[in-house]
A and B are shown apart, each in its own frame.
Chain A
Amino acid sequence: MKIVIKAFLRYLLRRRSLSILQLSGIACGVAAVIGMAISARSALYSFNEAIEFLRGKATHHIERPAGSMDEVTLMEIKDDPAVDFFSPVIDRRIRAGDGEVVRILGIDPFLDSAIRPEIVRTISKGQSPQENNALYDFLYEENAVLIDNNMAGQLGISSGNTINTNKGAVKVVGTFSNPSGEPLIIMDIGNAQKIFESTGKIDRIDLVLNDETGFRNRWDKGFKIESNKQRRENLTALLRAFKLNLQALSLLALFVGVFLIYNTAMFAVVSRRKDAGIMRGIGVRRSEVFFAFTTEIMLFGIAGGAIGSVFGYILSRILIDILGNTISDLYFFLRPIPLPWSWWNLIAGIALGCGASLLGGITPMIDLVKTEPVSALRGRIYQRTSKNTVKRLSVFGLMIISIGVFFLIFTSAHVYIGFAGTFIFLIGISLTTGLVLMGSIPLLRRFFSYLSGTIGKIAISNIWLNTNRTSIAVAAFMIALSMAIGLSSLIHSFRHSLIWWMNSQLRGDIYISTRSDVDVPLELYEELKNMPGIGGIDVYRNIQITFRDKPVHLTAIDSSVLQRYTNFSWLKGGSENWDPVKKGSVIISESFSRRFRIKEGDKVSIESAKGIVSLPVTGIFHDYSTEHGVIMMDRSTYIDLFNDRTINSLGIFIDVKGEQRQKIIEEVENMAHARGLPTSRQRQFHDRILAVFDNTFAITRSMRTLAIIVAFFGIAGALMTLFVERQQEFGIYRALGFSTKQVAVITLLEGIGMGLISFLMSIFTGSAIAYILIKVINLESFNWTIFFYFSLNPYITAFTTAILASIGASLYPLWKVYRLYPQMQIREE
């Protein structure tokens, strides 16, 4: 037995390049899966940690449905029998330096020690007198703050340093450890009230309650009480679509990865057919051959899996940053902390490598072991796939496709069913590759013989003759290309839908303070209202509320201004939809309508400062601003219901044209800048939204690249195996009088031919995937309609990739052809 295994392993050394390729194939597949999985887990873990850390020991919190509350509320809270501990909090955002928007909490260290003891305790953690003064400084220096270690490390600052913010310089008097990835600044509540100009106000009160029901009964009017469970659910729901996206990408990575490993392992076994025949011929038992093969496959699985898991871990570090950017852009600022290396990664990688390898190797192995030594000795050249097998397989494939489509129809039940449907669909398609090959060979042969005569013909015939090998490589490559086409088309269509939406809704000439960290003072609005030349100002206020226990956005706008100046895209009706809004009804976004199955004429019940109110819905509009759904109402309705006059941003519409217009824009800019408010003109505003959009899809794009890399290894492996197996054929070609160059061209054309077939198949499959992603998956996970915008680019990219990858994959065989003497090649015959 040992001898057999040794013989097998020695072969691997002999065929070093093939072995390396095989190993890289497995490693790449594993790396893709592990990398995606780790980064997704890190991001979600950090997110949960951030929620936990901020929550501290609180069981509930109480706040106004919108805006902040009077701090005198604390007088009643302290006497409420249900309250064990409480801590008032100012929870805002601040822009540190030119950098990111960071959460800043204003707390009272005395009261907060019951809620977040670990933060407060760090004020005086140190031993030196200087550090001991931290609490004193924290309380008495007006701009004193504590920052978390991660942030301190990133900014390279320590106690005593100052940081410039949009609210002036703050002095760091201490640092605290923060296990979550959300940077955090802590300030004394009194000082926080000062810098945010909200004296006498607090944003919420964190509570430890002993009797929730009693407390809710006493505080239900005009307040929103949220338990931690609700809060966690709300925040998690906020990330739902994002999480889905990550899961889908992880699944995609798994699919492509497993496919690649499967592919690699199968080639490994098939290419050893002859060796196995010789072994059997000299008296080695079947079981020994089987065992030797298994050992070889497992060795590759283990080594490739181990390498892959390490690479995957490294890859995850890159992906985490991208994920962090996306979460920060869309939800809240988060720097996910990569999970530390765990040996489980290695175990998972090896398991994946071995599992998928065994899966790939098992069928040919059984086949091989069963074969009579004599027929095995002939090598694999004479083994042809019958047309019937191809047809049978394709019929099976078509059945699988229909199952996939069936699943896709029921996506509305759960988006996971849509994922499953998509993958089943892809598996089905790949099973029909043989049939497609069969169908396209005559055409291709004609095309190639037109291009390069007999040589082209021979190349294409070789592809056909080796269908059982080539079809798998073609299928793997095709799936990768289809994914690339599908994802690119989705991104393209989404981007164009977004542009269309921006052009219809965000038509203001200049926007003031569209960032989340600054509000617009009322006086500025009053001042601008009276400025000649300004036709209308849209006063924008957006808050997050819970609707049927899910987070949604509530937006207050000036409906008459929007009616006049914008061109909202309605699901039904037109500009007249604004009329009832002026009288107190609301309009909802498409995502809201789909998510909660609410139509025009229905009513939405929301919790306002006046208690629960029921408002009629009179219009549904397209919206891509949030997948959670938007309820939009007129500002007058909002103020009436929530008693909150905060303005988040202003959109200004200018009536006059020409030079005068430019002057007004500049004047508005000056007025805003004088108050430290950022402005952006329409163009800039749109560009910023697009930048966020592009960021969001960065991870998708990197997965697309990954898919292509994996596919490249797939096709390279296939070509090389084909070459290694058929070296003697090349010898015959040479003996027949073909020049080395011609043989090289045959090899190259085989590669290109496979690439071309893959591409042709991916045109159909990729378009189907694009359709599924846009009309099924996206609609279900985001609840909004993306309009399909055709673009040739994804197809051109796929074509270029296909040709370049197949040429790249042919390089090694080409080099071999030139290097080996013809005699040596024929000698084997």
Chain B
Amino acid sequence: MFKVQCPGLKDKLGFLKNQRKIWIFLFCFFLSFFYLSPLTLYPLLSHCYTSEWKQAIGKWVWEFPRDHGSHPEYKTEWWYFTGNLLDEKGKRYGYQLTFFRHSLKKSPEKTDKNQKSPWTVDDIYLGHFAITDIQNKKFWFTERTSRRGPGLAYAATDRMDIRLLNWNAIMKKNNIFIKARHQDMEIDFELTPIKNIVLHGADGLSMKGERQGQASYYYSLTRLETKGIIKTPLSNKAFKVKGLSWFDHEFGSNQLSPQQEGWDWFSLHLSDGRDLMIYILRKKDGTVEDASSGTLVEKDGSSRHLIRPFINIQILDRWQSTRSKGIYPNGWRIQIPSAQIDLTIYPLLAEQELITDSSTRIIYWEGAVEGKGTSKNRPITATGYIELTGYAGSLGGIF
């Protein structure tokens, strides 16, 4: 349970709220990369964290669709899709599809074009893809990594066109088309934004530490109408689904401090049209990082930041994984008095834990959730995604 008493700190701490995505990115990056090399990245990142990379300092002049694309002058970048879906019979599904771009180079200097082979490693691209079948209580996850190669992976710099082998996310006009297939898992969705772009932090500059440059540029499309087809290892063929998705895009060149143990992240679509994002960063000493924060997006698309003192979260239940033995929160009461929100949230399936290659021991929980409660004193329901890390072995040490 987190209770913070100083609402006056709102403006000071608001800049910290976006750490969540950076963590997730780095975490996922490690996840993918460490299954090749459990301990490689730390030194890599150490030498990557240099002043040669462009830093997230000052106001970013946003221009779309250009900024949906890649920003290779920054070291890291990610595009993040999650959603809750219903098929024609009313069965529920969840999905997660994430693309990461990370530069392995020590500096952003360009290699001589003439000498450059497509195999030259500038950026590597990573992806995570998960499907949850609520009805059948099944959860499937897969990950992949690729360098640019001869057309294997890339992200356009002038529009959203991200490809990672046969996974991709492409924006055409106002709609985003995402596609991924791995063995018997497949999604092919068209996402139509219902609300405008939400810039987090100060016009999208999302501070994540007190030091200058310890920040990222960050925006979201919090509510996207989703329709398309999905295929799971249990279904023989693809079938139609529709629902709501959430999209995040963030880029920067920064590094995290290693004192955190993990984080809890919530993204919720409320039935009255409001969207809520909360991010809680847990430190190793048991306290909560001041950066923990949230964003509330109203039905009309207007948004406001929720600093940590405004957020009250109580853990209602816990669940122990039989595989990792990690004990995860498994039910929450979220109260945001200033927004008149009072919600009780439960996972749609307890077992949405991702255990990657056993030797790396990186394990986290990310899954579809539902809830009910009141918003503006009216009864509402909610669906969304929650990410829980650092419960089955600390992640801080690895970072």
Q: B183 and A193: CB pair below 8 A?
A: no
Q: Does B4 contact A (CB under 8 A)?
A: no
Please tell me if the beta carbons of B43 and A133 are within 8 angstroms of each other in the complex: yes
Q: How far is the CA of A84 from the CA of B38 in the complex (A)?
A: 24
Q: Is the CB of B150 within 8 A of A132?
A: no
Closest-CB distance, A576 to chain B (whole angstroms): 49
- Whether A111 sits at the interface, judged by CB under 8 Å, is yes
Is B1 positioned at the interface, with any CB of A under 8 Å from its CB? no
**Contact A74/B42 with A84-B182, A123-B36, A139-B104 known, Cβ cut-off 8 Å:** no
Contact A124 B37 (CB under 8 A): yes
B44 in contact (CB, < 8 A): yes
Comparing B83-91, B114-122, B339-347, the segment that makes contact with chain A is B114-122
Known: A75-B151, A110-B124, A121-B359. A135 touches B35 (CB 8 A): no
**Are A132 and B43 neighbours in the complex by a CB distance under 8 Å?**
yes
A780 within 8 A of B: no
Residue of A nearest to B46 (CB): A129
Cα(A132)–Cα(B151), bound, Å: 28
- Cβ A189 vs Cβ B39 within 8 A: no
Q: Tell whether A609 is near chain B: CB-to-CB under 8 Å.
A: no
Per-position binary interface string of chain A over residues 105-127, scored 1 when its CB falls under 8 Å from any chain B CB and 0 otherwise: 00011110100000011011001
Residue of B nearest to A199 (CB): B117
Which chain A positions have C-beta within 8 A of B104? 136, 139
A764 on interface, CB distance cutoff 8 Å: no
Residues B166 and A78 in contact, CB atoms below 8 Å apart: yes
B147 at the interface (CB under 8 A from A): yes
**In contact, A129 and B146 (Cβ under 8 angstroms):** no
A522 at the interface (CB under 8 A from B): no
Of A78, A108, A135, the contact of B37 (CB 8 Å cutoff): A135
Contact-residue size bin, chain B (C-beta under 8 Å from the other chain): 20 to 34
Interface flags, A64-96, vs B, CB<8A=1, else 0: 000000011011001101001000000000000
- Assess whether B42 is in contact with A132, with CB atoms less than 8 Å apart: yes
Asked if A111 contacts B146 (CB within 8 A), the reply is yes
| Nearest-CB residue, chain B, relative to A191 | B119
Shortest distance from the beta carbon of A665 to any chain B beta carbon, whole Å: 39
Residues of A contacting B: mostly: helix
A193 with B117: CB separation less than 8 A:
yes
Contact A124–B124 (Cβ < 8 Å): no
Chain B nearest Cβ from A85, distance in angstroms: 9
Q: Which residue in A78, A129, A133, A200 is a CB contact (below 8 Å) of B152? A: A78
Q: How far is the CA of A751 from the CA of B43 in the complex (A)?
A: 79
Task: Say yes or no: is A190 at the interface (Cβ < 8 Å to chain B).
Answer: yes
Give the docked Cα–Cα distance between A616 and B103 (Å): 57
Q: Does B302 contact A (CB under 8 A)?
A: no
Say whether A84 contacts B146, CB under 8 Å.
Answer: no
User: B119 touching A136 by the CB < 8 A rule?
Assistant: no
Task: Indicate if the CB atoms of B118 and A71 lie closer than 8 Å.
Answer: yes
Q: How far is the CB of A205 from chain B (nearest CB, A)?
A: 12
Which residues of A140-159 have CB atoms within 8 Å of chain B's CB atoms? 140
Pairwise interchain contact A74-B152, C-beta atoms closer than 8 A: yes
Select A129's contact among B37, B43, B119, B166, beta carbons within 8 Å. B43
Chain A residue nearest to B40 in the complex (CB): A124
Contact of A188 with B by CB under 8 A:
yes
Closest to A130 in B: B43
The answer to whether B119 touches A121, judged by C-beta atoms less than 8 angstroms apart, is no
Determine the chain A residues whose CB is within 8 A of the CB of B183 once the complex forms. 84, 210
Q: Are A109 and B42 in contact (CB under 8 A)?
A: no
Query: Is B192 an interface residue, CB under 8 A from the partner?
Result: no
CB distance from A418 to the nearest CB of B (A): 50
Assuming the contacts A110-B36, A123-B37, asked whether A194 and B117 have C-beta atoms less than 8 A apart, the reply is yes
Q: List 14 A-B contacts (CB under 8 A).
A: A71-B149, A78-B152, A78-B166, A108-B147, A108-B149, A109-B36, A110-B124, A121-B35, A124-B37, A124-B39, A134-B40, A135-B37, A136-B40, A190-B117
Closest 10 A-B residue pairs measured CB to CB?
A190-B119, A124-B37, A124-B40, A75-B151, A110-B145, A71-B150, A78-B165, A135-B40, A139-B121, A132-B43
